[in-house]
Structure 1
Amino acid sequence: MIQNFSDFEYIIVDGNSTDKTVTIIKSFEPEFAAKNITFKFISEKDKGIYDAWNKGVAMADGKWISFLGSDDCYFPDALITYFEKISQLQNNENYISSQVHVVDENGNVMRTMGKAYQWKNMLKNMNIAQVGSFHKRELFQEIGPFSLEYRIVSDLDFYIRGKDYIKPYYFKEVTATMENNGVSNQINKALKEALKVRLKYNYDSKLTIYLNHYITFLKCYGGKIKKGAK
């Protein structure tokens, strides 16, 4: 709502919340209408975040699609920045990403993440900032929807499947924040799912896949072990 840009549609997919979520969502409708922003929402049972994202893609009318979780937030100039970058694309790029700040529950920046999409890197470590990045809608027709086989890393699966389709553009600016307490913060489960994804596509030898998995495990847990030992 605080974006310095209004030529976009805002879609909320709620998983049939039983608290006051729907009432809160509806309370924003007049503000969207006043700013001439297309606003859509549904509230129904889903099979997790990726099912919700697939529903959002089906509801979207725009040429470019982005995803935010409930604890993610764009900076005020994020959409106008993306719009300007998209307007300058010259090589038929269909995926554009930047950087995000990972913050704690008080909004303190813990780290900055986000590198350029490179398919080979997806086989080792998902180091792109998926939060807030933009996908041309045709990508979902070419690659297919997010798989419901995974609850935490289906975006990794999507970007690996996108090997022959994704034409990336990257700019090194921070455009959003994400809290460090979402589903993907379940590190152990995420690592197990990521290993399952990489073994499924078999782009490397099993030895290489397991070795990269172990290295990622050490990167994720090494800092915690050192911190706990102090």
Structure 2
Amino acid sequence: MKKAPLISIITPVYNEPKICRSLNSVINQSNKKDVEIIVVDGGSKDETRECLEKFKDSIDVLIQENDSGIYDAMNKGIRESKGEIVGILNADDYYYSNTVLSDISKIFSDTSIDVSYGDLVYVNPRGKVKRYWKSGEYKRMKWYLGWMPPHPTVFVRKKIYETLGRFNDIDYKIAADYELMLRFFFRNNLNVRYLQKVVVSMELGGESNKSLKNIILANREVLMACKENKLIFPYLIPFLKVFRKPFQYLHNFSSE
């Protein structure tokens, strides 16, 4: 029987004690023996340090040093990863079930697959689902309708990062994840597989939506990413992305 691929999970963190919950969701995966846990701590000064100490025996790689932001931290983790497959899990997110990474492993057993993604739910602090981001089957033209997959559900073969580059943390401060996915999925037309399951639970609120200033900056960066990656009519995309969000509230989660 062919050996399962090693999956590297990278979690960037800075002063976020909820990383305990995030790490627990990785450690409890049914295929934990095939998972590498990498934490990149930008110099936390709160309870995060106690949490990392608690999980030190489960963390395979711990990088603790100042960084220039979350995308710089992600890039450090990617460089250090030994897995054939790379996923990124934010410190305040967690995997929806303990079979998520087993499902991902099965997808990548098909060696022609470059990238996979799935669905995501937004939850309140008590874990109640408030929004359902149902990604749907991949079609390249959907990018022109403001579509994008939820970045925390995206898994990529490491060789793709080595060939096409990591996050552009120099030019992008909020939307480097969007630019990277656009570069991988659209511009380079990689072979993509959709996992029709919820992969990640994310607490409501995000960096790009924290203030009007961040919303404006995010839209500017989305426009820049569209131009760089050769989408036609790039000025429409930021508006279409916003238009899609209300439909996440309409999805009947109970039917899944």
For Structure 1 versus Structure 2, the TM-score category normalised by the shorter chain is 0.7 to 0.9
Structure 2 counterpart of 1:191:
219
Q: How does 1:29-178 map to 2 (within 5 A)?
A: 29-30=56-57, 32=58, 39-74=60-95, 75-87=97-109, 89=110, 92-113=112-133, 114-148=135-169, 149-162=171-184, 163-164=187-188, 166-178=190-202
How big is the shift at 1:211? 2.9
Which residue identity is paired with 1:2?
A: N
Could you give the per-residue CA deviations for residues 24-43 of structure 1, whole angstroms, max 9, x where no partner exists?
A: 2021123x2xxxxx611111
Rg larger for:
1
Displacement of 1:5: 1.7
Alignment check: 8 A CA contact 1:15 1:45 kept? yes
- Normalising by structure 2, we get a TM-score of 0.74
How many residues are paired up?
213
Distance 1:132 1:219 in 2: 18
Partner of 1:180: 204
- For structure 1, the residue ranges without an aligned partner over 5 or more in a row are 33-37, 224-230
Q: 1:81 to 1:218 in 2, by over 3 A?
A: closer
SS of residue paired to 1:175: strand
Shift of 1:192: 2.5
**Secondary structure of the residue that 2:131 maps to in structure 1?**
strand
Contact 1:16 1:44 in 2 (8 A): yes
Specify whether residues 182 and 203 from structure 1 end up closer, same or farther in structure 2 by C-alpha distance, changes over 3 A only.
closer
CA distance in 2, matches of 1:182, 1:213: 17
* CA pair 85-161 structure 1, distance change in 2 beyond 3 A: closer
Change (3 A) 1:5 1:136: same
1:19 aligns with 46
Contact 2:147 2:241 in 1 (8 A): no
Matched residues in 1 for 2:45 and 2:165: separation? 31
SS of structure 1 residue aligned to 2:119: strand
2:167/2:177 contact within 8 Å kept? yes
Deviations 1:182-203 (A, max 9, x none): 3133444322221222234443
Rounded Cα–Cα distance in structure 1 between residues aligned with 2:80 and 2:241: 36
Q: Percent identity?
A: 25
Note if contact 2:107-2:113 (Cα within 8 Å) is conserved in structure 1: no
**Which segments of 5 or more consecutive residues in structure 2 lack a partner in the other structure?**
1-26, 249-256
Aligned partners of 2:246, 2:223: CA distance in 1, in Å?
16
Q: Which residue is equivalent to 2:16? A: none
Query: In 2, distance between residues paired with 1:194 and 1:178?
Result: 21
TM-score (norm 1): 0.82
Superposition deviation, residue 140 in structure 1 = 0.6
